[in-house]
Chain A
């Protein structure tokens, strides 16, 4: 990134509005970003609590505390809350905070719509929580025991809680599409003069691609669950073979959304890494353009390989072969990204502050998750692994390092910019080590469980699986509780700490570091000139 001539007028901007209206009626990208991040943090603990309940139940064989439908409802909620409630809003929060500051824009392009896309989320969360609560009331019907994939015919038979869930999915979709439109328009229309697309910071590129993906695939999910709603209540037979439909159609629609969703979760974190690694290796990002190209390749191929989630449903040999080859092809551009990160670190003057620790952890563990993904992509092998704990281990290795750790890295990296205080580095490092070690204790044994044949989404298991499950559950308790430390670090940083400089990290590059820490309420009201 080239240097800039600072021309913004510090005296010009207005003060922040006071009181509750500031937050409820906000049109400020920083405030809305904060709201997104707080919402995501809340949901992280809610989703984490449901995960800990799941692991407590699996601590021992037999049924301890959860009846099977309740267990499966927790599994469903854990996935939906974490994906739609924690990871996506957190990534959107980072986008809201950082994109305008990175591209020299005064705000997001459509500030009021920005607030709408946030406020739809609490409504969606309310519907989601209701879907869990309703079955406890008399006449509330059965628990949602389908898992987050909501496959019919089971999802057609679930009671009224499923309707709450379907509408929650609609709301989440509305929120995502509105946020994506806003981000695309901001990136295409609001860049400071002189900032061409290929001078844009990598985080902006990753969000541009993510937003395109969201606009293309989220409406398909909305359409799919709408058809589900009609099958449930209005007598249609989209997913009923007796009427000429096909339950597998829903799986295709769901995964047409669901697979790109993986990249939607992953890419913003890749964007964060592309800032963190150069900053702490004190070298520019290796292969900027190849990174953009790799990302576009991942997004494009990722759109057309969805059915590798459905190898066992009885597709033709030609179809599974196509989906297998396509899936394995994705490892090429992803490998290129990993290569670029390693090459950026190569011979850099590296220091290992908390964001960098997370970044290195991601490069290692995400690669590991990617490799088990290649195993799952191979059709004959997948016939063995399908719906086993191996799959659970695989996607947690992809999504925890790939998405969540990337967001942690981003939070630690930008927290000084947001709050004006440096976080407690010792506590940060402590959090990293507890978090990463307990994560591996939780999920590594699940590979063995899966290979040995333990199925997922079932409340009970055979005695022979006990030892690994005990280890995994103990790890999960530590892992879950370690996030209280994360919360403590954030609160501590907000309340005080060493004053952060404008350029909080010595090696950090980009427009956001030329603003005060914390930045003024309105920044870049006069756009900087990029040379």
Chain B
């Protein structure tokens, strides 16, 4: 960070409509969401309209940025700004996931033992929940959601781990291809990564179906169901977003937008992909395995 060129040609974009369109789309989506959750029927339409506007925004904003990049507006310093920006965005995402991992830890190791009668708050157990034993997985002393079976680690989840780790390797292979200007290796590496990502999401969807219909493991299944679906659900959402980003990058690769020296967008997506990969490893260990 210490060495930099500051030659006075830092690119300052012209006034842009996209930020305020972003505001409109977010407001529409969330306003609609709040209404829809409370059974006001117009809410769902607003959510859909808001999301459509959001995709228009993404398309338009990125089209502008890509155009500027292709017409050589960006110098080294702008590139560094983008890289740092992406890094700190991922840092904030890490803390978002840590919230859910932290909650899982707190519920399993602190709250549940109390309910089970351990420690100085153990009297709660005698008075309120006599006979409740703290064993994970748990749906609590109220046995919310009824009898259920926990999700095992060594079926689909283990396979999914293998899939995501392989996808991490294929995207690196694509990156190697990009670095030696091997277009074919780049494109096929990305296609393989996207295919593996979609396979992962497909397996997750199948697993959810299995959990709901066979295991009676639902969002309502007490603390276990809550943490299971919150963690895997947000991760699955991030994988889906990552796959969409990969598709955008694939399209740009096919149009030969990237060169060995100018491919920030590719690297940003690759970082993001590795990030969801690492989150999955945490999930596999703490949600499925232990």
Binding site for B on A (CB under 8 A): 17, 21-22, 24-28, 105-107, 109-113, 115-116, 118-120, 122-123, 126-127, 130, 141, 159-160, 163-164, 167, 170-171, 174, 177, 180-182, 184-185, 188-190, 192-193, 196, 215-220, 222-224, 227, 229-230, 232-238, 240-246, 248-249, 252-253, 314, 316-317, 522, 525-527
CB distance from B47 to the nearest CB of A (A): 11
Q: Which residue of B lies closest to A224 (CB)?
A: B99
Report whether A27 and B219 are in contact in the complex, using a CB–CB cutoff of 8 Å: no
Q: Tell whether A163 pairs with B16 under 8 Å between CB atoms, given A242-B141, A245-B140, A249-B107.
A: no
At the interface, yes or no: B144 with Cβ under 8 Å from chain A? Answer: yes
At the interface, yes or no: B254 with Cβ under 8 Å from chain A? Answer: no
- Inter-chain CA distance A227–B104, complex, in Å, is 12
Report whether B15 and A237 are in contact in the complex, using a CB–CB cutoff of 8 Å: no
Report whether A244 and B95 are in contact in the complex, using a CB–CB cutoff of 8 Å: no
Report whether B141 and A234 are in contact in the complex, using a CB–CB cutoff of 8 Å: no
Q: Tell whether A216 pairs with B223 under 8 Å between CB atoms, given A21-B15, A116-B22, A181-B89.
A: no
CB distance from A487 to the nearest CB of B (A): 26
Report whether A181 and B99 are in contact in the complex, using a CB–CB cutoff of 8 Å: no
CB distance from A449 to the nearest CB of B (A): 33
Residues in B with CB closer than 8 Å to A196 are 2
Residues in B with CB closer than 8 Å to A22 are 15
At the interface, yes or no: B155 with Cβ under 8 Å from chain A? Answer: no
**Cross-chain contact of A106 among B10, B96, B145 (Cβ < 8 A):** B10
**Cross-chain contact of A219 among B18, B19, B95 (Cβ < 8 A):** B95
- Inter-chain CA distance A110–B87, complex, in Å, is 14
Report whether A184 and B84 are in contact in the complex, using a CB–CB cutoff of 8 Å: yes
Residues in A with CB closer than 8 Å to B82 are 110
Q: Tell whether A164 pairs with B34 under 8 Å between CB atoms, given A22-B15, A116-B22, A244-B111.
A: yes
Report whether B226 and A115 are in contact in the complex, using a CB–CB cutoff of 8 Å: no
Report whether A236 and B141 are in contact in the complex, using a CB–CB cutoff of 8 Å: no
CB distance from B133 to the nearest CB of A (A): 11
CB distance from B39 to the nearest CB of A (A): 9
- Inter-chain CA distance A160–B34, complex, in Å, is 7
- Inter-chain CA distance A196–B1, complex, in Å, is 10
Binding site for A on B (CB under 8 A): 1-2, 4, 6, 8, 10, 12-20, 22-24, 26-27, 30-31, 33-35, 37-38, 61, 77, 80-82, 84-85, 88-89, 91-93, 95-96, 98-100, 102-103, 106-107, 110-112, 114-115, 119-121, 128, 138-142, 144-145, 218-220, 222-227, 229-230
Query: Would you call the interface of chain A mostly helix, strand, loop, or mixed?
Result: helix
Report whether B81 and A217 are in contact in the complex, using a CB–CB cutoff of 8 Å: no
Report whether B226 and A27 are in contact in the complex, using a CB–CB cutoff of 8 Å: no
Report whether B141 and A253 are in contact in the complex, using a CB–CB cutoff of 8 Å: no
**Cross-chain contact of B14 among A27, A123, A527 (Cβ < 8 A):** A27
Query: Would you call the interface of chain B mostly helix, strand, loop, or mixed?
Result: helix
- Inter-chain CA distance A188–B88, complex, in Å, is 12
Q: Tell whether A219 pairs with B99 under 8 Å between CB atoms, given A17-B15, A122-B23.
A: yes
Residues in B with CB closer than 8 Å to A527 are 6, 8
Report whether B38 and A220 are in contact in the complex, using a CB–CB cutoff of 8 Å: no
CB distance from B137 to the nearest CB of A (A): 9
Report whether A171 and B222 are in contact in the complex, using a CB–CB cutoff of 8 Å: no
Q: Which residue of A lies closest to B142 (CB)?
A: A242
CB distance from A386 to the nearest CB of B (A): 19
Report whether B6 and A192 are in contact in the complex, using a CB–CB cutoff of 8 Å: yes
Q: Tell whether A223 pairs with B19 under 8 Å between CB atoms, given A107-B10, A243-B222, A245-B111.
A: no
Residues in B with CB closer than 8 Å to A110 are 81-82, 85
Q: Tell whether A123 pairs with B103 under 8 Å between CB atoms, given A107-B12, A141-B38, A236-B230.
A: no
Report whether B85 and A242 are in contact in the complex, using a CB–CB cutoff of 8 Å: no
Residues in B with CB closer than 8 Å to A119 are 19-20, 22-23
**Cross-chain contact of A237 among B1, B34, B140 (Cβ < 8 A):** B140
Residues in A with CB closer than 8 Å to B142 are 240-243
